Structure 1
């Protein structure tokens, strides 16, 4: 009965939901504009995040585009919660500048916050990263270092959407910062990708450096 009452309480609160991607959200988290409207333009300078009986204080920063981001303190929440790309988070606003955060893993199971003292330093590299397309990304997209290490200094990568594929350059290894380059513009053109769209790249094969690509159009 306690679990049912708890669920009812959170369901009645304003909330927003995100899929966590380490490349985009490890250092800060964008609060969806649609959620901001629910608070009628009144925002505190910081929030308390509560999950599994633990709390974190995070600051709120507003950028020039009037978007709000959770910053200072957010990285500690990410680390302490052992968040990985693909985790599903639900932020329920409880009032008094406090969010309850529910966390589920990629299998749909509620995730427990581990004892940070028991976390080992061994970490399996993530094979997925996401970018929201900006003008600078029309000609190139940086590939996270941990994924770049899996490419074994290859100079060509394959991007796949459904049954179609495109070959793009993936050079720039001198600083361990590989990037998609030549061929990317044609990929965007053929898939009608525009600035503001969100593109998710998933490495599916280390042997032929192939990525599946999911494109979410800006609403």
Structure 2
């Protein structure tokens, strides 16, 4: 990627927009502000390359999708979220270099620029190798086939992130996001399967059941209790074994304990 400095100008000279990250709004897709679309001169690229500022110069390909006249980063965007460990309150600046390329800066919620994330476990990294390039092509094809968003493009078929709310603790039944669940069930048909939730320290068997939406049911209460989950905790799920339905779970604790 040609950086702004190679072209003789700085990032501050480029068209840019800012986004504050919220898992509930921005995890599965990120809206490109309507006012920013003018910088594409009527030709919005189908795939973008996002390069994060840092010593490693790491890049992610994301597929553009149009939903009801709005445009989003969608296919590949959850990979970007996971690999950069985005958290509630982080804010990002996207500077458009041209030729489908964005230069991205990521700041923590207290205003510091987040360092290169070399400590993320290898399991959760999605390198731009041949396998991922092939997956991106498939996502682009699906996005073209369903520009209205009516068909799941495969973006969240292996991972999802949820912020724990008060209602999650009331009936001790956990609703799995539809974008993930729809991959493994057919509407109107009963689905029931044993799953395993795996953390770094232990594992828990849970029942996954549903006919219109998948839910964690029996066993979920024990997972919540044993991990001392609270309102505001963020759970990052990744399906690592589809046949046996094993999901690795990473827990980010709510720092605002006085709100729990």
- Fold conserved (TM > 0.5)? yes
Among residues 207, 218, 228, which one is paired with 1:169 in the alignment? Answer: 207
Contact 1:142–1:179 under 8 Å retained in 2: yes
Contact 1:20–1:87 under 8 Å retained in 2: no
**Paired position in structure 1 for 2:184:** 150
Q: CA deviation at 1:185?
A: 2.5
1:4-44 CA-to-partner distances (Å, cap 9, x unmatched) read 52798337999667598998443769xxxxxxxxxxxxxxx
Q: What stretches of structure 2 of length at least 5 have no aligned partner?
A: 45-66, 85-90, 96-100, 106-124, 130-138, 146-152, 256-260
**Paired position in structure 2 for 1:141:** 174
The equivalences for 1:1-219 within 5 A come to 3-5=3-5, 9-10=10-11, 24-26=27-29, 48=36, 75-78=70-73, 82-88=75-81, 91-92=92-93, 102=103, 106-107=126-127, 119-121=140-142, 123-124=153-154, 126-138=157-169, 139-145=172-178, 147-148=180-181, 149-150=183-184, 153-172=191-210, 174-175=211-212, 177-219=213-255
Q: What stretches of structure 1 of length at least 5 have no aligned partner?
A: 30-44, 56-71, 95-99, 110-117
Contact 1:150–1:206 under 8 Å retained in 2: no
Query: Whole-Å Cα distance in 1 between the matches of residues 214 and 26 of structure 2?
Result: 14
1:147-172 CA-to-partner distances (Å, cap 9, x unmatched) read 43437933321101014001122111
Contact 2:23–2:162 under 8 Å retained in 1: no
**Paired position in structure 2 for 1:58:** none
145 and 93 in structure 1: CA distance in 2 versus 1, 3 angstrom threshold? closer
Query: Whole-Å Cα distance in 1 between the matches of residues 222 and 93 of structure 2?
Result: 41
Q: Secondary structure at the match of 2:250?
A: strand
For the aligned residues, what is the CA RMSD? 4.8
Instruction: Provide the TM-score with structure 1 as the length reference.
Output: 0.56
Q: CA deviation at 1:189?
A: 1.9
46 and 186 in structure 1: CA distance in 2 versus 1, 3 angstrom threshold? same
